[in-house]
Structure 1
Amino acid sequence: MNEEEVSPPSTEEVFLREHGPAVSVPLDSETGRALAAAGILRSATPDPVRAGHWLLRAGSSVGAVRIAGGAVLRITPKTSVSRLFFLLGFSLDPARAWRDSREGTIDTGGYDDIVPALAHAVERQIDAALRQGVLQGYRTVEESALFVRGRIREADQVRRHFGRTPPVEITFDAYTADTAENRILRAAVERLLRLPGVAAPVRRRLAHQRVRLADVLPLVRGHALPRWQPSRLNSRYQPALRLAEAVLRGTSPEHRPAGVAPLAIDGFLLDMNKLFEDFVTVGLREALREHGLTARLQDPHHLDTAGRVGMRPDLVVRSGDGRAPVAVVDAKYKVEKADGLLNADLYQALAYATVLGLDEAHLVYAAGRQPVRVHEVHGAGIRLFQHSLDLSRPPEGLLSVLEGIARQLAGAPRNP
């Protein structure tokens, strides 16, 4: 066994650390291959030293999942759980988090593990949402009935019953608790009740919330999450809905994008790459509004004139009318190297600036040796900025850094 390999204390619980050393775990070949294909780990390979074992190395996904045989795989983040949930809360609801940048924008109940903290947070949000009663609304219903209610669906009536009545194919608007909002909340509760590591008191409260939502139909497995629109009527639901959707996207294989490898896992995983990118871009977008600028996330462009090579900068800052590019930003969940250089990132930033006709481009890293580094591109007149956003800083400090970067972006030289 090499010095990077560490045996877990138990075959029932496997502990990995985000981007940490490999752990040798007893796994059958089928489960090992499924883990390798699922993309939730940095690597999963057969252990060359120990037969029947696989070397598992975590990447940027953190959380806990239950894999084949009942074993629980826990991946702890490098960032504290309270700070991680601040980033998540800000990304989901920046307006609220910007007003209250103190620790605890999402109440994690003092838990220092992701899954228990998540379950506590969601249950508290749902409890607050339902405090004034279960929200009801109108939903279009299509069904066969023995009497006419609403409108007859004439085409379905002829096709299915050849003009005979009853039954009658009808459609009507029902005032019901079975709305998209309540379906999402119920689905999140049921998913959390199945997660490993949820504390008993939280599990009991989640079961109580499920009873309150008993009149709501469960989501159909394999279907996309129902859509809801923010409104004055569902304003008290919105914090819970945003967090519930994050739960469902991080736990349910049936709600993940097509192409993800089928693996029988039950758990919750957060992609720190995506979380950092969302925090940086959403934070800069909000801060830039104070300067009269707009921002587009994942703005599509092409590197070549033929339009064959696509590129999507994380954030393109534009003038107030949204027409002229002002600056470009890419977020990198990386730590700056000892020499301060990440050449591939600099080449990418240079390509963005060149295509957009800008004199500078900006990279934001999760940590670095200096707050800002500047590189002047030889013969191009383009400057590349590398910013450091240390996630160990308190929330106020993180937002202050983003505001400083936004001021710099607003003052960037404009092409005539």
Structure 2
Amino acid sequence: MSNLITFYEHQSISFEKLKEELNLSKNKFIGLFKTINKRNNLTVGDSEDKEDDSIFKIYYDKIKAKHYVGFVAVDNKVIQVLPKVFEESDYEDRDKIIAFIKMMNFADNLNIKEQELAKVKDVAQTPTIYEVFIYLFASSLLNEIERGFYREYIKVREEKKFLKGKLLVDKQIRKLPHQRYKFSIEYHEFTENNLLNQIFYYTTYISIKKTKWQINKKLLSELMLIFDGINLRKINIHDFKRVHFTRLNERFKKPFNLAKIILSAFGEVEGEDAIGFFVDMNDLFEKFICSILSKSLEFEIKYQSKFNLFSHVEGIKNVEQRPDYVIYKNNKPLLVLDAKYVKINEENGKPTISPDILRQVYTYAKYYSKDNRNINAVLIFPKSKNYNNFDSKTKIGEATFFDNEIKLYVLTYNLEKLIEGDGVDEEFIKCVEELIEQ
């Protein structure tokens, strides 16, 4: 397929291969990647020595993906990045995409049902992230519309020959004599031609032009017929902010969130410069683990605010620190947890943790142990069959810091559960529960 290229996080692809896969000249595909970086308000990397926070890093002979997973469609070319934990696995790309969306579903409460994602596996077509999002949008929106089209009262101001609703006196008295045969009126109309449906209609209109999947074309064609009569207009960045959900339209929140993703990804939101949909996997893994723990444990999981590293400081700036989350019981901290979306190095068959990570998590535990209660620390890393898989154990190691007060536990979370099941690693949950009991 000459309009799709798939990276994995931190994977480099040579100019030669990009030229072949994208069917573009060197200057054109370099310009394409520079546009992606620029339009996402990030700097463009052009050397190995230059640190930047771009989506892709551009070298003299290759382009390297960074720690963002997602996709972008520019000039009929689709570039997608998949999670690094599945790079060497035997799973199909479709399974890896579904696993990524499941992570988002846990982390951001997208309310996507397991059955919906299961149906995606039956679609025997080119697996791309945007096609899956379009399918979820179209199928979930059709399901809700079958329960009833959304209508609401909207304020209408018009010039009419007859009175209806409220006369706008201030506007009426300023009219010239030849204009007074019409009344300036304001009234409320209960209609399906409201902002929410206009967003859905425009998303449908854009999606049907982009999709290649036959199932998506079928679903979107049905929606186009349903929305006949709704104003088709370009959606701007403020329109999304103007939609407010109540108990009357709450059921449309899922397709609304998916519509935001789709329109932003295709650069179709007026006033929004960014193009593409990319997620920082460090943040996503952190939120995913927090969601899993919150749903599985009977204890309170808190995101922590920053604390100052120094209690007294002269002549230098204080340093702020923040652990990912702390488990509490009866308002007392039990465990400090830090999720790290990185690959663990090995030395002589044993996992080797970065000294910076160890110093960081020790500081967190020491801070929350200030009430003479020693709080232990937990580091959590992702794993799959070929990534951070140490003898298939969840707890891959433990140690006691030099002060003999704080213990460290190193755990892994099996992300293959997102492909093979509901996403919950029961062994991981059991392990955390045992550490809490200790």
Fold agreement, TM-score > 0.5: yes
CA distance in 1, matches of 2:423, 2:134: 27
Match of residue 362, structure 1, among 378, 384, 390:
378
Q: Which moved more, 1:302-311 or 1:164-173?
A: 164-173
Query: Does residue 27 of structure 1 match 2:27?
Result: yes
Query: Does residue 349 of structure 1 match 2:361?
Result: yes
Shift of 1:341: 0.8
Please name the residue that 2:21 is paired with.
Answer: none
> Which residue type is aligned with residue 300 of structure 2?
T
Per-residue deviation, residues 127-171 of structure 1 (Å, max 9, x unmatched): 1111123111234x36454576656778xx47x976989687766
CA distance in 2, matches of 1:295, 1:219: 41
The answer to whether the 8 A contact 1:108-1:117 is kept is no
Structure 2: tracts of 5 or more residues without a match: 19-25, 43-53, 87-95
> Which residue type is aligned with residue 7 of structure 2?
L
Residues 295/65 of structure 1: CA separation in 2 closer, same or farther (3 Å cut): same
Shift of 1:366: 1.2
Structure 1: tracts of 5 or more residues without a match: 1-8, 48-54
Within 5 Å, give how 1:100-139 maps onto structure 2: 104=117, 107=120, 109-110=122-123, 112-139=127-154
> Which residue type is aligned with residue 64 of structure 2?
R
TM-score (norm 2): 0.69
The answer to whether the 8 A contact 1:60-1:271 is kept is yes
Residues 241/352 of structure 1: CA separation in 2 closer, same or farther (3 Å cut): farther
The answer to whether the 8 A contact 2:341-2:382 is kept is yes
Within 5 Å, give how 1:234-313 maps onto structure 2: 234-248=249-263, 250-252=265-267, 254=269, 262=273, 265=275, 267-288=276-297, 291=298, 293-297=299-303, 299-304=304-309, 305=311, 309-313=319-323
The answer to whether the 8 A contact 1:65-1:73 is kept is yes
Residues 194/312 of structure 1: CA separation in 2 closer, same or farther (3 Å cut): farther
Shift of 1:219: 5.6
> Which residue type is aligned with residue 331 of structure 1?
A
CA distance in 2, matches of 1:217, 1:325: 53
> Which residue type is aligned with residue 399 of structure 2?
H
SS class of match (1:317): strand
Bigger radius of gyration, 1 or 2?
2
User: What percentage of residue pairs aligned between the two structures are identical?
Assistant: 18
Please name the residue that 1:209 is paired with.
Answer: 223
Please name the residue that 1:52 is paired with.
Answer: none
Query: Does residue 381 of structure 1 match 2:405?
Result: yes
Instruction: Give the total of aligned pairs.
Output: 375
Shift of 1:59: 2.3
Residues 42/381 of structure 1: CA separation in 2 closer, same or farther (3 Å cut): farther
Query: Does residue 314 of structure 1 match 2:324?
Result: yes
Match of residue 61, structure 1, among 59, 68, 90:
68
CA distance in 2, matches of 1:21, 1:384: 35
Please name the residue that 2:90 is paired with.
Answer: none
The answer to whether the 8 A contact 2:261-2:277 is kept is no
Please name the residue that 1:185 is paired with.
Answer: 200
Query: Does residue 89 of structure 1 match 2:89?
Result: no
Residues 242/311 of structure 1: CA separation in 2 closer, same or farther (3 Å cut): farther
Residues 71/396 of structure 1: CA separation in 2 closer, same or farther (3 Å cut): closer
Shift of 1:388: 0.6
CA distance in 1, matches of 2:232, 2:336: 45
Residues 182/403 of structure 1: CA separation in 2 closer, same or farther (3 Å cut): farther
CA distance in 2, matches of 1:279, 1:211: 38
Residues 117/96 of structure 1: CA separation in 2 closer, same or farther (3 Å cut): closer
Please name the residue that 1:50 is paired with.
Answer: none
CA distance in 2, matches of 1:350, 1:92: 29
Residues 192/18 of structure 1: CA separation in 2 closer, same or farther (3 Å cut): farther
Residues 194/177 of structure 1: CA separation in 2 closer, same or farther (3 Å cut): same
Within 5 Å, give how 1:331-346 maps onto structure 2: 331-338=339-346, 339-346=351-358
TM-score (norm 1): 0.72
Shift of 1:379: 1.8
SS class of match (1:364): strand
Residues 22/227 of structure 1: CA separation in 2 closer, same or farther (3 Å cut): same
CA distance in 1, matches of 2:434, 2:187: 55
CA distance in 2, matches of 1:135, 1:247: 21
Query: Does residue 41 of structure 1 match 2:55?
Result: yes
Shift of 1:375: 3.3
SS class of match (1:135): coil
SS class of match (2:55): coil
The answer to whether the 8 A contact 1:81-1:113 is kept is yes
